[in-house]
Structure 1
Amino acid sequence: MFNRRKFLQTSGAGAATGHWALTDRLRAELFAASQQASTAGKKKRVAVVATVWTYLSHAQHICDRMLVGYPHQGRWHFPDLQVVSLYVDQKPEGDQSLQRADEFGFTVYPTIEQAVCCGGSDLNVDAVVIIGEHGNYPRNNKGQILYPRYEFFQQVVNTFTASGRSVPVFNDKHLSYSFDKAQRMVATSRQMKFPLLAGSSLPVTWRMPEVELPFGCEVEDALMVGVGSSDAMDYHALEAMQCMLERRKGGETGVRSVQMLTGDAVWRSGADGRWSKNLLASALSRSDLILGKTLVDARPQDLVGSGELPRLVKEPAAYFLEYVDGTRATMLMLNGAVGDFTFAARVRGLADIQSTQFHLPPEPNVTYSACLVAKIEEMVLRGIAPYPVERTMLVSGILESCLESRIRENQEIQTPHLQVRYTPPAKSQYCRT
């Protein structure tokens, strides 16, 4: 059993023999403990289908937590999940797939079908986890990385069809770079009647402070701040904003139009009142990673009131959304000003602006992925996705349409295809402990 005494003994050995001895022994102890920890019966068998498995890749973040456990609600939790098979599409320098397979006793298969069938002729797992993030893949004219998530999914469901049964599926981040493909994935899960969960860690990570918009509220205006590269990190920001706005009165009704602006047009749109400087100031007040002068002498900064933003942010981008019910929202990508994801909204009936930070603990720990794995485990054990996959489908389409606006010289794009309706759970889904 892995306990404090074992940890101290292992730590002492590590101090004498070096870091790698410590790491290996701790990993072995954790793995042994995880194999003994399930009191609810046999662990659910999981097949993983990934683009790559390297250090700090999403496959490493997610799968290591299934292999050795993760912190959850104030304790170390050993999930009732067992990785039994893996397909990895690429093995670049730094590949960890074979090492992890050797350490933890699962098999790496050359095809998705073999991974899902564990080398046999029929489906032989209780769930499939698809992680199509990272790796060397081309981009299209919108700048989207053509990760083969849809193709992975199709190969999985082809095996379901051949076997005459299906199991829950999790898909990391976007369903696809293509809304049409995303729709087909959701339609297939409905037709074949298996739970499909998708998305990233941001909707379920900790919030600082703990803010949830009242279920059924009227949102007067909303603004999200994101950072990072396009297609990867703007997806995160749009998804985080969507998980807040979907709680508004009437549930989600879809998006009527989008527009993306870049460069000086972003600042001009703010001066014209298209997005709220008060909401931006409130969102930025929740940031823990203020850049610019703060990095030089630690001084506090009013980034909005000081006029520093245009100097700090060399390539600003604004994503404007108009929902079918008339709600308007803006997402600003502000690389160079801050380093985290924050949100603010004005809600009818509430005197104060509601604002929060989506907390992302730093590398290499990235504990926020534990919050996501907890939701994956919940779906696999209960057989029900804890929140609608339609959120991810809608955000996949929003991002695709915004990037289409960018290549069309920032035109407003009408989006009748994004009239996606769904009702989120009233119960909050994000981590609190």
Structure 2
Amino acid sequence: MTFPERTIYLLHRQCSADISIDFALLRQHIKGKFYLICSNCFRSHLRRQRKDIYFDAILSVPSMDDFSAITEAIEANVDIQHEQFDILSIEEPTVSLCGKLKRHYGLQDFDHESYVDKLEMKARLRNSGIVIPQHQALCRQTWLNAPASYLDQLVATIPFPCFIKPIDQAGAVRAARLDNQDALEHWLANWQDDGYQYEIDEFIDGTLYHCESILRHGEIIYSQVNEYSTPCFNITLGQALGSITLAETDPDHINISIMSRKVHALLAPIKHGVTHLEVFKKHDGTLVFLEIAYRPPGNLASEMYLQRCGIPLKELHIFIQVDPEMDLAFTPTNYVARYIYPLPPMEGVVNRINPPQLTSDFQTYWNYHVGDAVNANTGLCKNAGRMLLWNDDETALRADFEKLRSYYPYTVTPSYEVISDAQL
């Protein structure tokens, strides 16, 4: 790969999380200057990991919400009138910011809000023939002004069970399933002004899928549909979250790929990059649009697609935006699955790592070792570890995938037992 020379700014908002991208691979192929714009705390995090060496400079700002500070950092390092440059993102919290910056500098004439704001994306799909959940934006001030009438209006509009979530977050952050009116009233009564805008949706019961699509010049050149082991929210309930690739001939792969093309045609004109679509299939076979993001999925995305078709998906999201004409070949080889394991239900100490018994090839990415203290589960933001498995036999991989639903990587002694033993 030989990319055109231009200055690249990569945005990163989260403070404690790793970008989980191969900086060495990016640096090897990107010509021109390569800058990271991030918060002060993440700059320190990268330096501790010695990953700052891959950038010409890390441009840290006090807050990634400070648009002026970010534009000042950009303009201090490039002549915006005469030099070629681009601004890219790889994670959900910076997709919106990236679109606004691109539009601000005339790099494109649209923003990314229809790939971030769940209300806007569903509004664009209304009356298109694509099924969307019943939903409504929540207004805290309306609740505070007239709680009884607002509760009555919500109950009359959205059936139970219902699902509440922020309109612009990922990974089931601050999401809640509510089964009746009392639960909804309790949630509203405890709703604090946390800076998030929320929506309330009907709860969809069925199988959840994710579909990654690679776009070039606005056209989808590759799609892969994957079946989740359980909806993402259920990791907060202690369930392992997995997904497995479907064969191109699988009816669900075919139907969801068709749906993906319709969704992309109706949303903003993304030209190049990777999108991540989530779709429910109800028990009667109806496909229901859930959401779409202009980014690859998170955990093990590149590793999963390298095994599936030889493509490092996260890095490709950057590469194809830098050089849309790059040579690409997709050669499906293995069927692939991944699992993310939650932290245990109670804090404790790891006293054993349980080896998985599988016929497929696999690789584990455990976050803890014997003797380590572990906190209790709080959701996807922190996990116990991950596993990637692959096999050229789809049936064998599926059998291992099902087996891993009930597997857990650690035997954990609860903290109160450790304390009791120490007092003996």
The normalised TM-score by structure 1 is 0.28
Question: Which structure: greater strand fraction?
Answer: 2
- Per the normalisation by structure 2, the TM-score is 0.29
